[in-house]
Amino acid sequence: MSNEKAEVLETTSVEDIKNEILSDFQLVCRSREVSLLGRKEVLTGKAKFGIFGDGKELAQIAMAKQFRNGDFRSGYYRDQTFMMAIGSLTVKEYFAALYAHTDVEKEPASGGRQMGGHYATRNLNEDGTWKNLMEQKNSSADISPTAGQMPRLLGLAQASKVYRNNSDLADWTNFTNGGNEVAFGTIGDASTSEGLFWETINAAGVLQVPMVMSVWDDGWGISVPKKYQTTKGNISDALAGFAKDEDSNGYKIFKVKGWDYPSLIKTYEDAVEYTRENHVPSLIHVEEVTQPQGHSTSGSHERYKTPEQLEWAKEYDCVNQFKKWIANHKFPDGSTIATLEELEETHKAIKKEVRAEQKAAWAEFTKDLKDDFNRVMPLMEQIADGSKNKVFIEKAVADFKATLDPIRKDMFSAAKKVLRLTRGEDFPAKTALQNLLAQLQEEMYDKYSSYLYSESAMSPVKIDEVAPSYDDEELVDGRIILRENFKHIFENRPEVLSFGEDTGKIGGVNQSMEGMQEQFGELRVSDTGIREATIVGQGIGMALRGLRPIAEIQYLDYLLYCLQIMSDDLATIQYRTKGGQKAPLIIRTRGHRLEGVWHAGSPMGGIINLVKGIHVCVPRNMTKAAGFYNTLLEGDDPALVIECLNGYRSKEKMPTNLGEFKTPLGIPEVVEEGEDVTIVSYGSTFNLCVQAAKELREVGISVELIDVQTLIPFDINHSIVESLKKTNRVLFVDEDVEGGATGYMMQQVLQKQGGYYYLDSAPKTLTSKDHRPAYGSDGDYFSKPNVEDIFDAVYEIMHEFSPEDFPY
């Protein structure tokens, strides 16, 4: 027992203990009533969907007692009692989320963007700067995908290890107290079947990070019992081989019943104290929790549980058992806590309190809607008075007024129907309604579409280009430029660290971090296991705690292993918290041409459509790549940088302003000016376009070469269309499949930028074949675009334009 805990016990009176127990009972009742009333609100149509934390209340109170300022939670959608217990969720806020109230003052977790039951604390100030995370209890933002919270949990825990052992971060006191913070994870027992759970558990056991993992075990995964979910039908038994002993790494594993209040309190005290002091993970298997209302509002558990199972769950419901324990408990002095009658009265009073808070939340939610309705309704009525279609407009207005609990969708639908009925008519009320709808549409952008990317002054899109400078014409391998630039970064930014498969000891498979582990230590440049999802998870968690990780995925093809976490978690963090959290992780990988089925993929169309919210940088050489790292580390958004796999040994000039030159995001570069055809490309394929352009010049064709540099963001100043105004012809080239990133680029340029209006020839794309690239040099040549293909595609465009000048 720690001295601090002993001192607390010595000064705690029996009366204080009684009051704490009664306070816990009140919270258990409050959370339970929230669940019960929340289900009713969904079933009566006021809310869309409900998933609740009933049955887990007691265990979560025990966990919350050990949760300190600076600690982090990475949990799932049944942790409402825990969030209430740490002071990060009120009853009114709970219902505001259930109704999807878009005001972050009313619904601070997501501003109505996430369904109820998904929690988060606001860790950023309004200007996007960090709050002092040591002055609050922190919860990373939940996501629905089962076990999706696990990878980031690993990084949240690892951050404490970094802060404890990196003396250069000793003064980062807004983020840490000497690395003593614990990361708390929660998961439902059935979700432990997911690979992400096992990958994270294994990695945390290897890394020995301060993580306390709670498994809420009610015996079911919706309708599927756990005998079909878990080997031995018991997750702690299945994990027995992970148990730590004196001579090995691993976990301290605890078991406890979810209805046993004193055992829960003791178990969480022991587990968290052990983890906090020793920086070793613990796992608490909380068995015999119940789920009184079933999985969610989408179904009833009476369909698949036997009457005996339902009766057992009613008896061993934690509220019922806690009530009995309180009524029967006696202290050594013979005093009691409360009678059953007193507890029933307390529960009744709390039920009224919860109902009052729910009504207040509904009133605030509907007032927000009514304010908008009251702006639109008078104009629709005025339009009816002045239109020849008065009867039809009055019906549309009446239908809207008759709608039960109308929402903005109903308002916009009615208003646009009114405007359609006045086609060809012109009077002030119609113009006023059109203007008002345009204004409201802008307001809806803030409510529903803002913060996909950083909107702070630190956004990397706002960072200007700084060109590399050179003293001489010395040529070096591209990898040397990356290595020396990384060294400069690590020397000047103690918060930066890098990790991945083979990143540490050998400095990466292409040696672009050669010698850096020896110089900066294993804490900052480290090897990992073959586990891409949790490599990204490490990065997300550490970035959420103020560090600047660079997570390396060895090859672009391997990104598929972590794409779900990138898409569901990393890409949505700022969006799903409406600017309340950020994780400026940089994911570094390499791809494109390597002449192999499994190491030469370029699935860019899939990537860019799945990771909106993450910048995607596609540099054509290592100087450009280094410039991206310099830019991104000054910004506060996540990004993916895809280095050219065949560029590490290509010769480039060595810049003198290492760590300072910056490649801008969203700014294409016109590498070569021309008059006849615009070629738009990126990465390794762009370098082939350069070779093809030389050969095209020999036959009298002048090509304008444009390197887009980033696919997300894409040409933010619409500069590519300026090239089309000159050449009137365009070819988009990459090594993705048909309809992939070339289709995306074409849509951006022809539709979004209006490039279609300047074309004299049909736009064309040139891509790889739809199959994986075949192995070997010939396989690569006939699978992906080559110099000859690019030449032929451009020549065909010019032949169509002028067969006499460009004959076959």
Q: Which residues are catalytic?
A: 599
Is-contact 125 131, C-beta < 8 A? yes
Reported for 121-128, long-range contacts at CB under 8 A and 24+ positions apart, including other chains, are: 121/88, 121/580, 121/581, 122/577, 122/580, 122/581, 123/544, 123/580, 123/581, 124/579, 124/580, 124/581, 124/582, 126/579, 127/456, 127/457, 128/454, 128/455, 128/456, 128/457, 128/458, 128/579, 128/582, 128/636
Say if CB 584 and CB 632 are below 8 A apart: yes
Structure tokens at 408: 């903005």
Query: How much helix, strand and coil, in percent to the nearest 5, is found in the chain?
Result: 50, 10, 40
Question: Kind of pairing, strands 586-591 and 639-644?
Answer: parallel
The C-alpha atoms of residue 360 and residue 298 are separated, in whole angstroms, by 26
The SS3 call for residue 427 is: coil
Which structure tokens are listed for 227?
A: 């005998």
CA 2 to chain centre: 37
Q: Distance (Å, rounded) from C-alpha 87 to C-alpha 799?
A: 71
CB atoms within 10 A of CB 65: 16
Helices (H), 462-507: 478-492
On the CB side of 540, how many CA atoms lie within 13 Å of its CA? Answer: 30
- Structure-token match 């100043």, residue found: 717
Structure tokens at 49: 């969907």
Torsion 360-362-363-369 (CA) sign: positive
d(CA 137, CA 82): 11
Helix (H) or strand (E) holding 411: helix 408-421
Per the CB < 8 A criterion, the answer to whether 639 and 663 are in contact is no
